[in-house]
Amino acid sequence: MPPNLAPETATWYHAEVHPHCPALRAWLLARFPSLTDVDDLVQEALSRLLKARETGEIRSVRALLFTTARNLALDVVRRQKVVSFEPITDMADSSVLADEATDVVAIVSKQQELEILTQAIQSLPPRCRRIFTLRTAYGMTQKEIADHLGVSLSTVEKDMSRSVRQCATFFKDPDRG
């Protein structure tokens, strides 16, 4: 149950909302198997339901709860599809190629390293990938990332560590591709 609810709201929550939570979690897992944080999504849907109740009566708690959760899940899925990683630099357009004195072997090696890095980043779970990218590509602090994504600082720290470990493992794996 969400903390700090008025007694009347707490009674309503226990009677009208809480019984739907297990079914909502199961439905989300079945309908959106790519979701990594179903519990976070359920909490957000519950939060929005409580805010909606503040503005007026809710005729069908179950319908609003499931619709809200579905819309949140669709947003997450859309964001997962939008986040695609291309090579960090397009070597064909790079000024490095314009310099005729540049070693061709070094250029090819650098391009291969960038492609492997891109594959390693793409192999990360969606939230880890996003945190890793915000930290490394955009230079955001862990606190800024936590505020931006609406997650705890601890979550950002753990996911960043997990990302670095997974990328290191990816680089060590000779059968990665």
Give residue limits of the domains in the chain: 7-82, 91-172
Q: What is the pLDDT along the chain (177 residues), one digit of tens a residue?
A: 556 778 888 898 889 999 999 999 998 888 888 888 888 999 999 999 999 888 888 889 999 999 999 999 888 888 776 544 444 444 445 454 445 445 666 777 777 777 888 888 888 999 999 998 888 888 888 899 999 999 999 999 999 889 888 888 887 876 754
Q: Which residues contact 65 (CB under 8 A, 6 or more apart)?
A: 17, 20, 24, 45, 46, 49
For 91-172, CATH gives 1.10.10.10
Compute the radius of gyration of the chain from its Cα atoms: 22
Tell me whether residue 136 is exposed, middle or buried, using C-beta atoms within 10 angstroms of its C-beta: 0 to 12, 13 to 18, 19 or more: middle
Q: Which residues contact 71 (CB under 8 A, 6 or more apart)?
A: none
Name the residue with tokens 């310099």.
99
Helices (H), the chain: 7-12, 21-31, 38-55, 61-82, 95-98, 104-122, 126-136, 142-149, 153-172
Q: What is the pTM of this model?
A: 0.46
